[in-house]
Amino acid sequence: MSKKGDNKVTSLNNQYTQKKNAEKKAFEQKNTFKRRRIILIFAAAMIFFTLPSIRLYESYNELMNAQAEQERAKENRTQLEAQEKALQKQVNLLNDDQYVLKVARDRYSYSLEGETIFVIPDAPFRNVTANPPNQDEEDAQNNTGND
C-alpha cells in the first residue's frame, strides 16, 4: 500500500490536456456567472415583490383601524343622540308650568298660599323627574277634573 505522499498519478502536460483544462475552466466561469446572475435576478424579484407587500399590509392595518374607529364613532353618536333626545324631553317638560310647579312642590316643599305641608319621615321619596307624565295622561286628568 502506498503512503499519502506517494502520488503515482500524474497528468500529461500536452496540448490536448491544456485545451481541455482551459475549456473546463471557461465552463466553470460561465456557470459561476450564470449562478450569480440567477441569484441577482431572484434577489431583485424578492425586493420587487416584498416592498409593495409591506406597504399593502400597512394599508390593510390602517383600513382596519379606521373601520374600528368608525364603528366606535357610530356607537358614540347613537348614545349621544339618545342623550340629546332625553335632554330635549326634559327641556320640554321644564317649559311646562304645571310640571315645574309639581317638581317644586315635591322636591323643595313649595306650598301654595293657605296650604300646610306635613313631613312623614318614613315615607319614600317620590322623584317626579324620574317618570315624567305623558302629555296624553295630563290631558286626560285635566279633562276628567273639569266635568
Q: Considering its fold, how many domains does the chain have in total?
A: 1
* Domain limits for position 58: 17-111
Please report whether residue 67 resides in a domain.
Answer: yes
Residue 15 phi, psi dihedral angles, 5° rounding: -65, -40
Q: Is the pLDDT of residue 143 over 50?
A: no
Q: Could you read off the pLDDT of 46-84 as tens digits, one per residue? A: 999 998 899 999 999 999 999 999 999 999 999 999 999
Is the pLDDT assigned to residue 134 strictly greater than 80? Answer: no
127 falls within a domain: no
Alpha-carbon distances, residue 44 vs 41, 79, 147 (angstroms): 5, 53, 96
- Residues 35-50 have a mean pLDDT of 93
Count of CB atoms within 10 A of residue 22's CB? 10
Q: Indicate the burial class of 142 (C-beta count within 10 angstroms; 0-12, 13-18, 19 or more).
A: exposed
Residue 134 lies in a domain: no
